[in-house]
Amino acid sequence: MDAKEFLVALKVKTGYDFCDYSEQSISRRLLKICEEQNIQFEQLLDKVIADSLYMARFVEDITVNTTELFRDPIVWISLYKTLYQRLRTTGIITFWHIGCSVGLETYSNLILLKERGLIDRVRVFGTDLNPRVLNVARKGLYAYKFNSHFKNNFEEVMSGIGSKSKFEDYFDVDEVKDTMAVKPFLTEIPKYMQQNLVMEKCPFPYKVDVVFVRNVLIYFNDVLQTKIMQMIDSKTYDKAVLILGKQEMIPTKYSGQYEQVGYYHKRM
């Protein structure tokens, strides 16, 4: 059995479908698991079928959850100066963070919404495949020292938008416990929900104004990327805005429908 055959068997036996993930990256991760545990794909399959805890762990291991506070600061500074100035001036604005991981992207957005004075008019959803990262996102609690670049990014963004806000305005830092906790006035806003993009519908009933889908589509081949775009399309308002990762493009089939404005894509 090779990696491809394993993924087909996994889909048949468990319903988890990773067949349309970018092949090189997922194969490498699968091979690494087999190597580390010194097993063959046949045994790996038996194990994930037999043990749901092992399965959850396995799903986490083959997906990539790395994220940052204000990843790519120039992107956030630019969004603040463009997109956030142009958001609707009446009613509730709905944001959806697809593949939100441990929530740092959600909180980056909320901090800028607070800076813009919009935070009382927003609805924010974060969805992801992994229940564990969603639990971390709900708590908004992260290791501090290991993540010192978060603070650097924060400061770069604040200085870029001309704000005097301090890290401590948004985070409670405990150097002894080595933790940073997002303040409750932010953690109480977003709703985090589990969703497997490959086969599940969006888990909330609202239409969306702004979609963050950064560094998620890169893990999918073009067939799956197009399918996800279709779902996004059906869940968003006409003039919706999409924010992709720095090195991502709108999948070809949809590229004609979006216009790029700086670091975001607006549906025409």
Partner 1 sequence: MSDYKAVVIGGSAGSFAVVLKMLSQLRADFELPIIICMHRLKHIRSGLVESLNVKSQKEVIEPFDKQRIEQGKVYLAPSNYHMFIEFDGTISLSVEDMNNQSRPSIDYTLSSAAVAYREKCLGIILTGANKDGAKGLKDIADKKGFTIVQDPKTADVPTMPKAALEIMKPDLILTPDQITDYLNKL
Residues that bind ligand SAM (CB under 6 A): 63-68, 71, 99-101, 105, 128-130, 133, 195-198, 214-216, 219, 245
Residue placing its CB nearer to ligand SAM in the complex, 38 or 148:
148
| Residues 166, 245: Cα–Cα separation, whole Å | 26
Question: Which residue has tokens 């993924």?
Answer: 7
Name which of ligand SAM, partner 1, none residue 163 binds, using a CB cut-off of 5 to 8 Å depending on partner kind: none
Name which of partner 1, ligand SAM, none residue 249 binds, using a CB cut-off of 5 to 8 Å depending on partner kind: partner 1
Name which of ligand SAM, partner 1, none residue 85 binds, using a CB cut-off of 5 to 8 Å depending on partner kind: none
Question: Which residue has tokens 């001309």?
Answer: 162
Give the three-state DSSP class for 2. Answer: coil
CA atoms in the 13 A half-sphere facing the CB of 219: 20
From residue 182, how far is each of 56, 133, 232 by CA, in Å?
Answer: 26, 15, 28
Give the shortest CB-90-to-partner 1 separation in angstroms: 36
Give the shortest CB-250-to-ligand SAM separation in angstroms: 16
Give the shortest CB-242-to-partner 1 separation in angstroms: 15
What's the DSSP call for residue 256? T
Give the shortest CB-116-to-partner 1 separation in angstroms: 26
- How open is the CA angle 256-258-263, to the nearest 5 degrees? 135
Residue placing its CB nearer to ligand SAM in the complex, 39 or 231:
231
Residue placing its CB nearer to ligand SAM in the complex, 67 or 236:
67
Helix (H) or strand (E) holding 62: helix 52-62
Give the shortest CB-249-to-partner 1 separation in angstroms: 5
Confirm if 94 and 189 have CB atoms less than 8 A apart: no
Using Cβ positions, the residue closest to ligand SAM within the complex turns out to be 99
CA 222 to chain centre: 19
Residue placing its CB nearer to partner 1 in the complex, 165 or 221:
221
Residue placing its CB nearer to partner 1 in the complex, 105 or 115:
105
Give the shortest CB-164-to-ligand SAM separation in angstroms: 26
Residue placing its CB nearer to ligand SAM in the complex, 161 or 197:
197
Give the shortest CB-63-to-ligand SAM separation in angstroms: 4
Name which of partner 1, ligand SAM, none residue 197 binds, using a CB cut-off of 5 to 8 Å depending on partner kind: ligand SAM
Residue placing its CB nearer to partner 1 in the complex, 21 or 80:
21
In the chain, the amino acid numbered 141 is L
Q: Which residues bind partner 1 (CB under 8 A)?
A: 22-25, 28-29, 64, 66, 215, 217-219, 221-222, 225, 245-249, 251
* Burial class of residue 208 in the structure, from the number of CB atoms within 10 Å of its CB (0-12 exposed, 13-18 middle, 19+ buried): buried
Tokens of 98: 């697809």
Instruction: Answer positive or negative: Cα dihedral of 38, 41, 45, 48.
Output: positive
| Residues 127, 134: Cα–Cα separation, whole Å | 8
